[in-house]
Structure 1
Amino acid sequence: MPRSEPSFSSLQARAIILMWRILAGRSMATLWRMARLGGPLVHRFSRREREVTDINLAQVHPHHSRAKRRHLARQSLTHSTATMLELGFAWMADLDRVHAAILEVHGRELLDEARADGRGVIVLAPHFGNWELLNIWLTGHFPMTVMYEPPKLVELDPVIQYGRERTGASLVPTNPRGVAALLKALRQREVVGILPDQEPSWGSGVFAPFFGRPAYTGTLLPKLVARTQARVVTGVARRLPGRGFAIHFLAADERVYASDEATSATGVNACVEAAIALDPTQYQWEYKRYRKVIQEQEGHPQHRSFRLY
């Protein structure tokens, strides 16, 4: 039988993997220079990222001038571009080089104290800086379980899985089986990672304030805490532009331990806010944190979406 031609998605995946391999060999300084060139182009030509970022910053900083918000948006999209360029480095570069790029670790004692308490530990990791580098540092020191949703381009899945598992992370699916695996890991006094700032589907969250505005917030972390009495620590990898990264661990807002899910979710959002305060330009403002508020106000939460959002 004649060999079939590769599909467009297959060719696209091959091109991305080749790009990652090339970028894996580049220095932090080179990747940052590329991000500084690419970030303004993303801001100018990527309408979706620009508009979502602008909407979020208008919600979070209503008293800032438009010029100040526009400047912050450009900086944020430059850092987001850097994160994308750094994926090949995080997943494919020699691990000695990757570990050498982690130049500072702050607040390690908070993580050690939480683990010494004899319970599992949840690392609450917002989309800030480069969370892939945070994962590499954590899995190099502790047994680590994280949820994983395969990419739309299925050909990328083996590469991403290898990149995230090569230092020992255990990836579990984003479904009830994955939740069961997180519960088991916490009961075995291990560490799990939770990305807390993606808007969940209806029925999987509650409205809680985020920078003073209601945002639909996932309740997975509150449920895990309630069932395992796990300790919570916020963790991020802050980019040191052109040089490497600084790992930061921050004490969790005490409200994350509340039995009421809305109160606990408020604590989760406060943890995210504290991480963003390290450098607001390094947060990924492209996530639609306030979308469901508008959907609810329009009266058809399951079917409406933002006009621009």
Structure 2
Amino acid sequence: MSDETSRRDRLQATVVTSLWRTLSGRSLGTLWRLSRYAGPLIHRLSKRERHITESNLSVVYPATDRTQRRRLARDSLTHSTATMLELGFAWMRDPERVESSIVEVHGRELLDDARAEGRGVIVLAPHFGNWEVLNFWLSGHFPFTAMYEPPKIAPLDPVIRHGRERRGAQLVPTNPRGVAALLKALKRCEAVGILPDQEPDWGSGVFAPFYDRPAYTATLLPKLVARTQARVVTGVAKRLPGRGFAIHFLAADERVYEADETTSASGVNACVESAIALDPAQYQWEYKRYRKTPEEAAGDPNFRHARIY
């Protein structure tokens, strides 16, 4: 890394950290009002985010009127903006205040019952609502381990780590050493979190239906289940605009327990769909979930025609 790049990264980190710290002192109502102003602007001015969001929504809701899809795209970008504005709140606000913002918890018994049976719990945490608030709650109520990939702006790493670990969460790398740490935690009957809706590198996934379209999906889950007999739940922190958050834990689709990787991955994607059904606007639709295609994997020279982005 050049000295110029290093200086630029330090400056960016200082600006971003200062912004998070400033916003951490604002109420959730104020942050939501800011999001309602900024979200529609992003939808109007940011061609990339608008295109990806609307392309995804055209795939998953093909029968929905285009005007309704555009409204949903705008609402989704508003919620994504709220998540970004709430990072300082989740990471830097005093823990008592963040805890008090979680006004509802549904399905906790799914975790408690599994641990009472001597099983670890794998929490599938899709990019829905505010996943940092979910991490905050989990790490405050259970021994909790999650995979972590350092940010591109390296000086932000200690800030983010401190925010995610301040309630006792253990962050492990996204490599074989991290997988080993997850296995050990599950064998201790603890909880671990994995992201079910990020596209893995080639060789680490299979194609499985996500809203009836093939999506390249990670195969880490069946490996963890096979070696630990852990239970699986889906977890989200649903935003209650201006009021706080409702934690929801949902029983996993039974296919996640199958040894066949494609069947298990289909169950994982069904779990994500169930979480999205709580409020489709709160899902992060601006992620390129269908970037990889079966045609590309098969070496079809015309694979670009199968892409939606």
Quick check: TM above 0.5? Answer: yes
**2:246 is matched by which residue type in structure 1?**
A
Distance 1:54 1:5 in 2: 34
CA displacement, residues 117-176 of structure 1 (integer Å, 9 cap, x when unaligned) = 211110111100001001111111110000000000001000000000000000000111
1:115 to partner: Cα distance: 1.5
Distance 2:110 2:232 in 1: 10
Matched, 1:156 2:150: no
CA contact (8 A) 1:291 1:306 kept: no
Runs of 4 or more consecutive aligned structure 1 residues displaced over 4 Å after TM superposition = 3-6, 303-308
CA contact (8 A) 2:255 2:267 kept: yes
**2:95 is matched by which residue type in structure 1?**
L
Matched, 1:143 2:143: yes
Distance 1:305 1:113, change over 3 A: farther
1:304 to partner: Cα distance: 6.7
Distance 1:305 1:247 in 2: 40
SS in 2 for 1:292: coil
1:66 to partner: Cα distance: 1.3
Matched, 1:190 2:190: yes
Distance 2:154 2:100 in 1: 31
Distance 2:300 2:12 in 1: 37
Corresponding residue pairs, total: 306
Output the aligned Cα RMSD.
2.0
1:306 to partner: Cα distance: 8.4
Q: Which residue of 2 aligns with 1:213?
A: 213
Distance 1:105 1:305 in 2: 44
Q: Which residue of 2 aligns with 1:125?
A: 125
Structure 1 range deviating more: 58-67 or 273-282: 58-67
Distance 1:6 1:154, change over 3 A: closer
Alignment of structure 1 residues 159-308 onto 2, 5 Å: 159-293=159-293, 296=296, 299=299
**1:168 is matched by which residue type in structure 2?**
G
Distance 2:151 2:32 in 1: 25
**2:277 is matched by which residue type in structure 1?**
A
CA displacement, residues 72-94 of structure 1 (integer Å, 9 cap, x when unaligned) = 00000000000000000000001
SS in 1 for 2:150: coil
CA contact (8 A) 1:295 1:305 kept: no
CA contact (8 A) 2:142 2:190 kept: yes
**1:155 is matched by which residue type in structure 2?**
P
Distance 2:16 2:288 in 1: 25
TM-score by length of 1: 0.95
Distance 2:108 2:25 in 1: 29
1:49 to partner: Cα distance: 1.3
What percent identity do the matched residue pairs reach?
72
Distance 1:289 1:28 in 2: 29
Q: Which residue of 2 aligns with 1:52?
A: 52
Distance 2:307 2:232 in 1: 36
